[in-house]
Every structure is written in C-alpha cells, then in structure tokens.
C-alpha cells in the first residue's frame, strides 16, 4: 500500500475512498473524481491492477484487501480511521451466473462476503467516521459528506426465484436506505445506484469477450454521468437507464405468482 496522506497534507481538498476502485466502474468513478480535483484512494484485491494504477496514476492512494476476509477488511478500516474523507463509494462486487452454473460453496461465500457482508462492515465503519468528522461541519461552505453503494437493477426486483446475487443487491439497497434515514440528522447523504448492464471488461469476460447483445447496455462513461448526477441531486435510489426502470417497475406491479412464472420461464435452469 502507498503511504497514507493525512488531511493536513491536502488542506481542503476533498477526499474520496472507492472500494472496488481498481477496475471497471469503480476505477472510472475514481478517475472522474480525480479529474474534478479530489484526492482519491482506491481499495482492490488484485496486486496486478494496483501495480498498474500505481504506475499510471501515482497520486492515487492504493490499498490491497481481500474483502471476503473480515479480519483483513477490519485491519484496513482501522488503518484508514485517521484519514478524513468526504465521500465513500462501495463499488466492489462478485457475480456468478446462476442461470448457467450451479452455485458452489466457493462462489456462494464470495458473493455473500463481498456483496453483503463486507458492504455492511464498510458502511458501518464509514458512517461512524463521518459522524465523528462532520457533526460540527459548516455545510454551507463544503459539500455534504456522502456514502454511495453501487447495487444493481437486479436488486430492485422482488420475486421468489431471485438469485443470490439479486437478493444480496436487494439487501444492499435496503441497508443503504436504513442508513439514509439514520444519518439524515447528521446531514450525511446516502445514495444507492441500481443500473442496468454496463460495458465493463468484467461483463465482457462473462460473455466471451462481447457484451453488446445485452439489452440497453451503456458505456462506463454514460454510467458515471448518471451516477454523478444522482449524487448531486441526492437521489435515494437511482435506477437507470430509463427503459430498464420502466420495465422493472411494470414487472414489480404484477402479482407475485405471475411475476415468478414469467421469470422462471425466462430464466429456468435444470436442477
């Protein structure tokens, strides 16, 4: 890990920490904030990706952490506790296509660990840090501190046939909503992002190198624009693109047995 920079090193420069910020959407958000003049710290698991960031973007602080290891995650959070930050984005995630592959123990542990357990651990820590740092903050002079979680449009669907991935993302959205209510008296905003398909390398890797067939797929930069607008507008749950939002809203208004039948017919797999 690079040397941590104290708040005195950066004067009044705002600081963002991005978990899952070494690739894909997380890295795009990190670089966008850097372009806006923010001090940026990113957390990731891959030593190769961290080395690449250290080489290309030497001013970005990098931290290696396996978020499936609660002790390792807590050690990282403890080391970050002395660093003042204005925004934290949880963009880490794990996905296994349960329509194609039977969920094994390793994949189950990884998805639950990263998509829900580590998210809860990080948000609990971050909320306490922001409460301590900003209770006396003059919010007329600086932007409100914020916590942002990158969920998925899959988490907005409520049906019995949902995958572990969808259920964990739904739990993430519900947890963030609870934090939003709890942190409102502290003037700390909390936002959830539920996007459709984003054309990242990870998605392409899951689709034999080409994800262009995915419905309403968007570029990473388009997703960043939507996310930044949602944060600026303090949208509790930002669902995009509009086409996907309308479809999921319509499906959610169907009776549960009908919705379950439609999705099971569409997504069924041999058990």
pLDDT single digits (tens) 194-239 = 987 676 666 566 666 655 566 567 788 999 999 999 999 999 999 9
**Phi, psi (rounded to 5 degrees) for 164:** -60, -40
Q: Measuring CA to CA, which residue among 241, 236, 247 is closest to residue 198? A: 241
Q: What is the reported pLDDT for 138?
A: 55
CA distance 163 to 234: 29
Q: Which residue has the tokens 């995009």?
A: 240
Q: How far is CA 230 from CA 25, 47, 160, 240, in A?
A: 15, 31, 29, 10
Categorize the per-residue pLDDT at 183 as very low, low, confident or very high, splitting at 50, 70 and 90: very high
Domains in the chain, ordered, with CATH?
A: 7-267 (3.40.50.720)
Q: Is residue 223 within 8 Å of residue 194, measured between CB atoms? A: no
Query: Would you state the structure tokens that stand for residue 59, as one six-digit string?
Result: 């001013």
Helix 70-80 crosses helix 118-134 at what angle (to 10 degrees)? 20
DSSP the chain: -PPPPPGGGSTT--EEEEET-SSHHHHHHHHHHHHTT-EEEEEES-HHHHHHHHHH-TTSEEEE--TT-HHHHHHHHHHHTTS--SEEEE-------TTTS---HHHHHHHHIIIIIHHHHHHHHHHHHHHHHHTT--TTTSPPPEEEEE--GGGG---TT--HHHHHHHHHHHHHHHHHHHHGGGT-EEEEEEE--B--HHHHHHTTT--TTSTT-B-HHHHHHHHHHHHHTT-SEEEESHHHHHHHHHHHTS-HHHHHHHHHHHH----
Low-confidence winner among 128-142, 238-252, 254-268 (lowest mean pLDDT): 254-268
CA distance 181 to 23: 31
Query: Would you state the structure tokens that stand for residue 52, as one six-digit string?
Result: 């690449």
- Name the pTM for this structure: 0.83
Give 131-178 pLDDT, tens digit per residue: 998 665 555 545 789 999 999 988 887 777 778 888 999 999 999 999
Portion of the chain with pLDDT greater than 70, in percent: 72
């Amino acid at each position: 890990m690079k040397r941590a920079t104290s708040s005195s090193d950066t004067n009044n420069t705002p600081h963002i920490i991005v978990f899952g910020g070494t690739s894909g959407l997380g890295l795009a958000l990190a670089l966008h904030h850097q372009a806006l003049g923010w001090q940026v710290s990113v957390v990731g698991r891959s030593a190769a990706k961290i080395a690449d960031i250290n080489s290309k973007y030497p001013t970005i602080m990098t931290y290696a952490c396996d978020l499936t290891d609660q002790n390792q995650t807590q050690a990282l959070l403890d080391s970050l506790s002395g660093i003042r930050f204005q925004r934290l984005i949880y963009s880490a995630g794990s996905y296994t296509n349960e329509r194609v592959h039977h969920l094994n123990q390793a994949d189950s542990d990884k998805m639950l660990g990263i998509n829900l357990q580590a998210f809860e651990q990080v948000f609990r820590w971050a909320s306490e840090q922001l409460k301590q740092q900003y209770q006396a903050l003059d919010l007329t002079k600086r932007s409100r501190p914020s916590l942002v979680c990158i969920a998925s449009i899959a988490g907005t669907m409520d049906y019995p046939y949902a995958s572990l991935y969808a259920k964990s993302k739904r739990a993430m959205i519900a947890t963030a909503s609870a934090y939003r209510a709890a942190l409102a008296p502290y003037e700390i905003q909390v936002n959830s992002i539920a996007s459709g398909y984003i054309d990242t390398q990870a998605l392409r890797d899951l689709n034999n190198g080409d994800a262009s067939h995915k419905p309403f797929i968007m570029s990473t930069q388009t997703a960043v624009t939507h996310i930044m607008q949602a944060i600026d507008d303090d949208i509790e749950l930002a669902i995009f693109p509009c086409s996907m939002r309308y479809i999921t809203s319509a499906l959610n208004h169907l009776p549960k047995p009908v919705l379950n039948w439609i999705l099971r017919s569409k997504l069924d797999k041999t058990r």
